[in-house]
């Protein structure tokens, strides 16, 4: 069984529909045997998203708490019609380590494959975005081969989201075909929980079972090895998560 070292998609109770504090999420990561957690609350365009000040103020969160590295992140909303993202000042974005961009129904009412594909092509060109989030959502069909085949050129990675597999109808088959394309084009992925409560941090069994089922290579899963993940953050943000020290701000 593949074992993960980090959960890179989690929400804290700065959004009202999530239930745990940052400290509780860190404890959840510890209980799950992880070494790192990314806090990725929704961008301001989402109903119940965080105010943009939340993201700049992630600077006061220690880099390492109780042995767990804390990655400063956001889940941005892809916006219609052409794939812009939440309107946030650059100074708020610059300090973020990890930026997921995802389709959400309240922000981008689903249209058709052409429109979704065009929006994702804009996201590929957005220099702040690191990760395409929960692409398996059946409501947002898109030209999978066209997008996945361009990910390495734009240094984007793809998320396989366990929560989607569990709650979004039809997601499993989409996730499977997206993962197979990642194998074909050697695109790195991350496997995440998208947890909204501390007890779900690191819970990714359905996603990992699907990946094992299709023989997905472990070396393409960035968060299955701490050195691999550290190399990734060094490359995209020039931060060294190996050097994070306890309670370092």
Interface positions, 47-86, toward Zn ion (CB under 5 A)? 75
How many angstroms separate the CA atoms of 20 and 238, rounded? 30
Angle at 224 between CA 220 and CA 225, to 5 degrees: 100
Q: Is the peptide bond before 81 cis (omega within 30 degrees of 0)?
A: yes
Q: Which is nearer to Zn ion, 97 or 194 (CB)?
A: 194
- Of 197, 241, 154, 188, the closest CA to residue 16 belongs to 197
Could you say whether residue 194 binds Zn ion (CB under 5 A)?
yes
Of 100-108, 139-147, 171-179, 198-206, which segment contacts Zn ion by CB under 5 A?
Answer: 100-108
First and final C-alpha spacing in the chain = 35
Q: Which is nearer to Zn ion, 52 or 230 (CB)?
A: 52
Which residues lie closer than 8 Å to 145 by C-beta, 6 or more apart?
A: 181
Q: Which is nearer to Zn ion, 8 or 230 (CB)?
A: 8
Q: How far is the CB of 231 from Zn ion (least distance, A)?
A: 25
Q: How far is the CB of 77 from Zn ion (least distance, A)?
A: 8
Could you say whether residue 195 binds Zn ion (CB under 5 A)?
no
How many angstroms separate the CA atoms of 123 and 247, rounded? 34
Interaction pattern, residues 107-146, with Zn ion; x per rule: CB under 5 A: ----------------------------------------
Neighbours of 246 (CB within 10 A): 11
Q: How far is the CB of 228 from Zn ion (least distance, A)?
A: 23
Among 27, 102, 192, 193, binds Zn ion (CB under 5 A): 102
Q: Whose structure tokens read 């990675």?
A: 157
Could you say whether residue 45 binds Zn ion (CB under 5 A)?
no
Binding residues for Zn ion (CB under 5 A)? 75, 102, 194
């Amino acid at each position: 069984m593949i074992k993960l070292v980090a959960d890179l998609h989690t929400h804290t109770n700065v959004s009202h529909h999530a239930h745990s504090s940052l400290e509780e999420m860190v404890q959840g990561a510890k209980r799950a045997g992880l070494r790192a957690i990314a806090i990725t609350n929704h961008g301001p365009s989402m109903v119940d998203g965080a105010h943009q000040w939340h993201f700049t103020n992630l600077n006061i969160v220690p880099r390492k708490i109780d042995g767990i590295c804390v990655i400063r992140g956001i889940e941005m909303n892809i916006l219609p019609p052409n794939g812009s993202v939440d309107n946030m000042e650059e100074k708020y974005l610059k300090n973020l380590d990890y930026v997921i961009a995802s389709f959400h129904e309240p922000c981008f009412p689903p249209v058709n494959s052409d429109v979704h594909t065009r929006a994702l092509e804009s996201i590929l060109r957005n220099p702040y975005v690191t990760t395409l989030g929960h692409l398996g959502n059946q409501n947002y069909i898109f030209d999978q081969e066209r997008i996945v085949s361009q990910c390495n050129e734009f240094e984007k990675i793809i998320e396989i989201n366990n929560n989607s597999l569990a709650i979004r109808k039809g997601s499993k088959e989409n996730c499977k075909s997206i993962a197979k394309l990642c194998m074909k084009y050697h695109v790195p992925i991350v496997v995440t929980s998208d947890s909204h409560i501390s007890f779900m941090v690191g819970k990714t069994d359905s996603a990992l079972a699907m990946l094992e089922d299709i023989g997905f290579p472990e070396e393409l899963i960035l968060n299955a090895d701490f050195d691999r993940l550290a190399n990734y953050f060094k490359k995209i943000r020039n931060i060294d998560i190996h050097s994070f020290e306890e309670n370092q701000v």
